[in-house]
Each structure stands twice: as C-alpha cells, then as structure tokens.
Chains A and B, each alone.
Chain A
Amino acid sequence: MTNSTETKQALLASPLIRQYGGIVISLIILCLVFSTISPRFLAFNNFMNIMQQVAVIAVAAYGMTYVILLGDIDLSVGSIIAVAGMVAAQAFSMGFGFVPTVFITLAAGAIMGGLNGVLSAKLMLPSFIVTVATMGIYRGAVSLPTNGAPASIDNETWLAIGSESWLGLPIIIWIVIALFAINHIVLSRTIFGRRAYLAGGNREAAIYSGIRVDRLKIIIFMISGVMAAISGILLSSRLSSAQTNAGMGYELDAIAAVVLGGTSLAGGVGTMVGTILGALIIGVINNGMNMLAVPYFYQLIFKGIVILFAVWLDVRSKSMRA
C-alpha cells in the first residue's frame, strides 16, 4: 500500500509526468471515449491505421517544431508537401530511378524552405507574411507541369513505402520512428539544437553570445522544407499519385500538433516528444471520428474544441507550477 503511494508520488514528481501529464491525460481520455463508443477502436490494426494516418502530419510537425521553437511560423508546409509529390512524379516520368528521385524531392523541399528562410532573415520580413505568400506560390506551382491534373506515380519502390511492412510494422511507421529519433537527438543533444532554443528564447542575447541567428533561421526553414518534402513522399506513395490539392491545410494540423505538444509560440520552449504526442492526439481524433462516421464539418468543430481544451489544460498545469 505504502509502496504504491510512494510510486505514485515519485511519478507525479518526475519532470516527465509534469511536462507531458496534461497531454497524455487528454490522449487517454480521447482513447477511452472512442473505445467505449466503438469497440474496434482499440484493435491493434486500428492503432496501425492511426499511426499511418498520423505519419504525414507528424513528419511535417517535426520540422515545424524547430520553426516554432525559434519563435517563427511556417505556413507553407502543406504546399511544399504537394510540390514534393509533383516533383517526384515528374522526375519518375523523366526516367529517374528511385534513389535519385528521393534526392531530387528532398532538394526541392530544402530549396523551398531555404527560400522562406532567406526571405525572412535577409529581408527582415516576418515569417508569417513570407510563408503566407510562398504558401500561395508553391500551391500554384504544383499545377504548372500538368495544368492542374493529378500525375500518377508507378515506381514500385516508391509505392512500397506506403503499402509494405518490415518486421511486422508498416515501413511508413518505421520512417516516423526513425525521424523522431533523429530530430529528438538533434534538438536535445547537439549544439545546433541548443542554439535554436537560445535564439528562440532571446534573439538579442543569442546575437550577443556569438550565435549567427540569421544563418540558424535559414537552416531551420530548410529543415522544415525537407521534413515537409518527406511528408510529401509518404503521402504521394499512399495515394500512388501527386495531387495538386494534396496536403491542403496540413500546416494547421502540424502547428496544432506542435502547440499541443507544449512548444511555446513565443519561442524558446518545447520538445520533439511533445510534438509526437500532439500529432497522436490529432491522429486519434481524426481516426475516431472517421470510424464513428461523424460528418466532416462536425469533425472540424470537435477538433477545434479539443485543441482549445488540451492547450488550456497545458497552460493551466504550467502556470500552477510557476
């Protein structure tokens, strides 16, 4: 008896619980609600479904985490996701193989993200405005090669990403896990990650401490572009094609995932662990409501309410600690 109270106290005291308690509770509540209504929800297969659906958002949200940590925002990721798919489709139709196409697609993401970064850092424009503009530009550019028609992709390796499994897990989930590990380590264990925290926490102090904040910003927007391009690869693989309206509105889901995960929009505070938990919440909501055949417009309303509730819970638990 005493033992269990002690464990409970130890759990409550651990920084991990304090940091992610609110969001984990939200996640559990959502799962309980959905599983009471629909018994199929808790099935292992459905969990795999959620993970696959969440993959595209989660990977884009990894990139978004760096951007928001810096106190910036990237609204162009949804458009970059679509451009990446179209670039891949075009590369394949020109006869490039799988590996060169992957590199071309990632390079396209890096260039688009880099452009966001350069415009914001060098012309001193707010990233919100820059990426509102490039969101439109990139979205329009998707239709250039095909005049707005979708382009099908038939490279088998490419399609295998979205359909095959390895060691019992879909490849897409392996990719989400691997990218999580890489980004988590970069953010928490490298000088680069630390500089992102510092520059986001206090830009002036970072500049005085010898951090080249402009260069850091460009690199971070490039990372966001590359992550969005990977999302584009996952999405086009699952759809077997590049759609001009692919990824529409995904930037908002990615931002919601990051913010749900406790990353401060003011910059300087946040983690990748929080982001993946936030992405899971978005995924669970989407999946649960699809399963219950809730009409799309109700889904939007419910999702908005859950985001408000979860963020409020988080803010409240943080202010109680302070």
Chain B
Amino acid sequence: MIASPNAPVLEIKDVAKTFGPVTALKRMNLSVRSGRVHTLLGENGAGKSTLMKILVGLFQPTSGSITLRGKPYAPKNPIEAKALGLSIVFQELSLCRNLSVAENILATHEPNSFGFIKERDLNAQAAQIVSELGLPVNVRTKVGDLSIAQRQLVEIAKGLSRPADVVILDEPTSSLSDSEAEILFTIIDRLKAKGTAIIYISHRMEEIMRISDDITVIRDGSFVATTEKQNTSIEGLIALMVGREMKDIYPPRLVERPSSAIAPVLAVENLSEAGRFENVSLDVRPGEVVGLFGLIGSGRSDVMKALFGFGQPTGTIRLNGNPVHLRSPADAIRHGIAFVTENRKEEGLVLQHSVERNINMVALGQLAGQFGFTRPARERAAAKTEILRLAIKTASMETPAGSLSGGNQQKIVIAKWLQTRPKILILDEPTRGVDVGAKFEIYRIIRELAAAGTAILMVSSELPEVLGLSDRLVIMHNKRVAKMLDAQGLSPETVMTYAAGIHQ
C-alpha cells in the first residue's frame, strides 16, 4: 500500500474555499508524509475546520487541487472519503450512548448476513480492534456508561476500525487525562510504524512538541509555514500563529498578592459527599487566585458544583466567616458566587439566542425595573459594556451566540457572570477549546478581576495554566485534597507527584 517510507501521501495545493462573499480558506498548501505526525496549528477561525471538512467531503473546495497517493482526491461525503483511505476522529463525540462499544465501533459496517447482525462476530471483531489499540474498555459496555475520556478513546477506535492511509485526529486529548493521553500516544506510534500518515489538531503546545514530526501553522485562512519539530520552539510557533511575539503567556499580576493575614471570603471545612469527594477543606481570600488541580476523576469538578448549590454535601461552607447552606444555584448566586461552567454549549449558553440575551441571562433580575418588567435600554447598555470590557468580537448584539468562535463564546459566559458583580468567581476549565489569543485575554481578565478584589477559584487540567495564574494551589487526588501549596516557584513535577498520589 505504501510506496516508500515517508513519501508524501496527501498533497493539498492552493486550496481555497469561499462562501458567497466570505472567504474561509484563502490559499492552503499542505504535504502530509506517510509514517509521520503532521500537526496543524492555528487559532480558532484560522481555517482548520474548513480544511478538515473539505478533506472528509463535507465541503467542496472552490479552487485548488488535492491528491491522495498521486491520484486526484475529491470525495463527495465522509463515507466516500473513508473508502478512499481517509479517516477522521471528531472532537465532538459522535457515539450513540444507548448502543454498546462494539456496536458503535463497527457502526455502518457491522458483520451481517442478509441484514441480520451477527452479534458474536461483531463483539469479536470489536474486541480485536480494542485490544490491538490497548484500550481498557469492555466492548459489550454501553457507551452511556463510560466516562467522557473513555468515550473519546472509543471514538478513536471507531475512526481506526478500518485501515486508512491518512488519519485525522481533531483535538483528541481535550477530554483525556494524562494517563489516557499516553494510551493515545502509543496508538499513534503504532500507526506511524505501519506507515499511516496522521494529521493532528490540538491547542496543547507541550503535547504538540512531544508527538509531532512536522508542524504547519495557518493563520487567517492561509498557509504560514511548515517546519520540522526539531527546528522550532513553543514561543516560535505561537509567534507564527498569532502573527506577533508573545513574550509572556501569563500576564503579570497587577497588584501585590493579598497578605495571609486577610480573612478568607470563602472557607470550606471537611466538605464531603458520598462517592464524590471526602473531607475537602480549602479557602480563598479576596483578590486571590486559588488553583484546583487534579486528574480526571479526582473529584475537583464535583467540589465546584457543591460550592454552587448542587447536591447535599456535609461539612461547612463559610462566606465571610458565616456558615451558609447553599440549596440551589439561585442561592449561591444570591450569596455572590458565580460559576463559569466547563461546557459552554451545554451549561453556559443558549446558542440560538442573541449575544445580548446571553450576556444578561443571570443579571436579568438586577437589570429589571418594577413589577418584573424588563428594561431593554438598560439591558442593551449593560451588554455593550461587557462586550467592550472583554473585547468580545461579534457582528452585533443581535448575532446568535452560537455563530461566534469558541473563544468569544467563552467570553460571553464570563461576561454573563461578571454582570452579577460576584465576590467569588469559580472558573471550571476557563480556556478549554479556546485559541491562544483568546486564552491570553481570558488570563488578563482573571488578573483584572483579582486586582479588583474578586476571590477566584480556578479548575484547569492544563498544569502550566494553573501554575502560571494561581497564588496558591489545591491538589486533589482520589476524591481528597492531597496537598495545599504556595504556587510560587512550584515545579510541575512536584504537582504531578501529588496529583498522581505518589507523594503522600
């Protein structure tokens, strides 16, 4: 199947795509070689997804040519693309929750006779695929019973269920923990050994530097540069991506960190909830950024939810020294707590509603006039203020939130909480799926809020981010607080040893 090692398999020449007057891709050039990982790097909106959609046949290019193994390549749909030898693993999960792992992996090509599925062959074939990939899942399990991370691994298995010359992995690690990401990297190594070419898309720079062979940077729909990994650095890549030098990703703090003599605004003592977390104690002072770090399944997200009025935890939550009982999110909001949730599409936004309505979603009552009547002029002014303050890029306030880029959607979620003037701001993965430029702006916003006296509790699975922004760090392992540390001068290795439970 493969002519010679590391020969170009997929060649994209001067491909452009326009939608009416809108240009999504100006001029793309890409040469992907067999047995190598080729990373595509660019901010959200740079044109990566348009290119991927062209490759799987969802869009047809306006001009330019694509060849696969020397032959013109122009699939009309994903099924044809797969038959021609190109597989894609989507970042958004495309699995049926009520079907088993085996049924999902072999969906659309189940072993059958006369249309009747051969259950035994199905499970055996799926089990073989799964064990070849080294995935720790039972193929008879329903996908709905798996964790998000396991589902992502099944998604990958599904994408690799048929031999392919080119495999596209679109942000495959965004919901994986480090140990699960290792499984993926092993799979990638095996694919490379077999001569498969891999197009890899990710926003995680450390990971990109680790597994890539070639890296292509695209910006504003155009090809910027392709380099081999050993000839570049993270700083160099970021500079290419954003088109400017970004000296320090983490902006410096604006004021001195609050002294340890200041009383905490939020103090949690021995908070427990059966099966979710045990004896969690932590505190946050006004103007302080406390990072909460832990691997997936460590209980960190459940702790955040408990602080926002979900569940029935035991233990004490004190606000300004007074014990409070938070029965619902409405209760928590009344006490000045805000919660920027992890999944903006599910828990954050009403995608079909306007930017303005989304921004004013939480502060609705505060902005209203007498007898529960809304005040449109005041709402518009309030939304406008937040759009300017957070530099949200939108055509107008009436634009549906769903049509904005990931970074701008995330800023709307932050904006809707800032409207309530919170005393305590909880951020759960504030920069997930957000491009570098927007990340930097979100970091700046966090700094500004802290400087203004907001107590910030931030959960993130990106260790450099937690270390770069936090004053103190709470590390969770196995549903307990493993360690509370001063974040200043802390090494990533130390944090990981606590998070992995090696250090006791």
Contact = CB atoms under 8 A, between A and B. Distances in A.
A209 B416 contact: yes
Interface in A224-245: none
Contacts of A204: 346-347
Contact of A191 (B350, B351, B365): B365
Interface string B331-373: 0110000010100001111111100010001101100100111
Contacts of A207: 329
Contacts of A211: 330
Contact of A202 (B339, B349, B365, B372): B349
Of the four ranges (under 10, 10 to 19, 20 to 34, 35 or more), the interface on chain B belongs to 20 to 34
B372 A209 contact: no
A299 B256 CA distance: 77
Interface in A196-211: 197-198, 201-202, 204-211
Contacts of A195: 364
Provide the main secondary structure of the chain A interface: helix
A197 B330 contact: no
B281 interface: no
A283 interface: no
B362 A201 contact: no
Interface residues of A, number: 21
A210 B330 contact: yes
A79 B346 CA distance: 36
A205 B329 contact: no
Contacts of B353: 197-198, 201, 268
A312 interface: no
Contacts of A201: 350-353
B177 interface: no
A191 B330 contact: no
B374 interface: yes
Interface string A1-39: 000000000000000000000000000000000000000
A209 B361 contact: yes
Contacts of B350: 197-198, 201-202, 205-206, 268
A309 interface: no
Interface in B367-412: 368, 371-374
B161 interface: no
Given A201-B352, A205-B349, A268-B353, A191 B372 contact: yes
A212 B331 CA distance: 10
A313 to B, nearest CB: 20
B125 interface: no
Max count, chain A CB within 10 A of own CB: residue among B333, B348, B372? B372
A206 B362 CA distance: 9
A179 interface: no
A270 to B, nearest CB: 11
A210 B333 contact: yes
A45 interface: no
Contacts of B362: 209-210
A40 interface: no
A316 interface: no
B60 interface: no
Contacts of B416: 209
A319 interface: no
B148 to A, nearest CB: 15
B328 interface: yes
A190 interface: yes
Contacts of B351: 201-202
A5 B372 CA distance: 42
Nearest to B305: A208
A207 B333 CA distance: 11
Contacts of A198: 350, 353, 357, 361
Contact of A192 (B347, B352, B372): B372
Highest count of chain A CB atoms <10 Å: which of B308, B339, B352: B352
A80 B333 CA distance: 38
Contacts of B368: 190-191
Nearest to A195: B364
Given A189-B374, A191-B374, A205 B330 contact: no
A194 B346 contact: no
Contacts of B371: 190
B348 A205 contact: yes
B369 to A, nearest CB: 10
A62 B376 CA distance: 23
Contacts of B348: 205, 208
A269 interface: yes
Nearest to A15: B398
Contacts of A208: 308, 329, 339, 341, 347-348
Contact of A205 (B308, B332, B347): B347
B352 A212 contact: no
A309 B110 CA distance: 39
Contacts of B341: 208
A268 B350 CA distance: 8
Interface in A173-198: 189-192, 194-195, 197-198
Contact of A209 (B329, B346, B352): B329
Contact of A190 (B328, B357, B361, B374): B374
Nearest to B348: A205
Contacts of B339: 208
A18 to B, nearest CB: 12
For A191, A197, A208, which residue has the most chain B Cβ atoms within 10 angstroms? Answer: A208
Contacts of A192: 372
B157 to A, nearest CB: 29
Nearest to B362: A209
Interface string A68-94: 000000000000000000000000000
Which residue of B361, B362, B364, B416 has the most chain A CB atoms within 10 A of its CB atom? B361
Among B339, B347, B351, B365, chain A packs the most CB atoms within 10 A around the CB of B347
Nearest to A199: B350
Interface of A: 189-192, 194-195, 197-198, 201-202, 204-212, 268-269
17 contacts: A191-B368, A191-B372, A192-B372, A201-B350, A201-B352, A204-B347, A205-B348, A205-B361, A207-B329, A208-B339, A210-B328, A210-B330, A210-B332, A210-B333, A268-B350, A268-B352, A269-B352
Given A202-B349, A269-B352, 20 more contacts: A189-B373, A189-B374, A190-B368, A190-B371, A191-B365, A191-B374, A192-B372, A194-B364, A195-B364, A198-B361, A201-B350, A201-B352, A202-B350, A202-B351, A205-B349, A205-B350, A205-B361, A208-B329, A210-B329, A212-B328
